Amino acid sequence: MYRPCVLFLFLLWCSPARAQPPELPLTGFRDRVMLLWGGGRTREEAETFVTAYRERATDWARVLELAPGYPRVFEGAEVPGLRPGAFFVALGVCEAREGARLAQVFQALEPLSTTRSVLWEEGSASPCPAFLPGWSFGKSTRARGTGGTLAAASFDFTEEGKPPTWLLVVALLTKGNAESTVLEPPEDDVASTVKRLGTARGEVVLEERVVDTCEDGTRVETEARTWKVTARQGELVTRQEKKPLRHVPCAPGAEASGGG
């Protein structure tokens, strides 16, 4: 059963169809992918997902940002492709390829996030989320336990003249709640990369390779570190293990320069 406003829009779109093919009233629209964080039967329900996103987004604020005005609540009838009568929290609207790429990122952070194929007005800006300079999506993993689901996503930073580094977001997702933590290398002057991200015995496990750089550009492996995150009684607990590697010193007179 259509609600009155939906019926009005339906008639508005379809009234010219008596003399033209049905698709012509939507000329001027293009296929896009809408990234959705949640929704509800009322605007008030949807707004709770907006608040939840803003709280959790502090974990990845220096990695990824949304377009101005997002997250944004849409009533289904506002956008062709959404379900009229419901309210949706959109993180952005993207071209198909970029939308599919970013959908993997948000689903790694929140498994319940999803996408919808929509029609977006041609010529209007496509408000797609974007990575901040130097950052990109790395790896993701997920582990289910008795206390909830551990969802982890790593992000890589690479910029000319600076040592590579990374950031890991781990969230313990339970019904109606999310507890999260952020991990990153404690050093500012060494190169660090994520070698592996996975799970073992209900833990999130990240293997990291730490490298120094000599003044002459020689890269010197110093150690491999393993970070483990587990959930205990509803809280996230982090452990770090180090495994020193064979250290090859810099050439005489060339001290480590921290990313040279």
Task: Output the pLDDT for position 189.
Answer: 77
Choose among 72, 87, 93: nearest CA to 3. 87
Q: What does the alpha-carbon distance between residue 109 and residue 152 come to, in Å, rounded to a whole number?
A: 7
151-175 in b/e burial notation, b at 16+ Cβ within 10 A? bbbbbbbeeeeebbbbbbbbbbbee
Q: What does the alpha-carbon distance between residue 206 and residue 199 come to, in Å, rounded to a whole number?
A: 8
pTM assigned to the model = 0.79
Q: What does the alpha-carbon distance between residue 215 and residue 255 come to, in Å, rounded to a whole number?
A: 6
pLDDT (mean) for 133-145: 94
Q: Note the pLDDT tens digit of each residue in 204-249.
A: 999 998 887 666 666 666 667 899 999 988 889 999 887 655 455 6
H-helix segments, 110-208: none
pLDDT at 53 over 90: yes
Q: Note the pLDDT tens digit of each residue in 95-113.
A: 999 999 999 999 999 999 9
- CA distances from residue 33 to 7, 77, 139 in whole angstroms, order as listed: 25, 16, 22
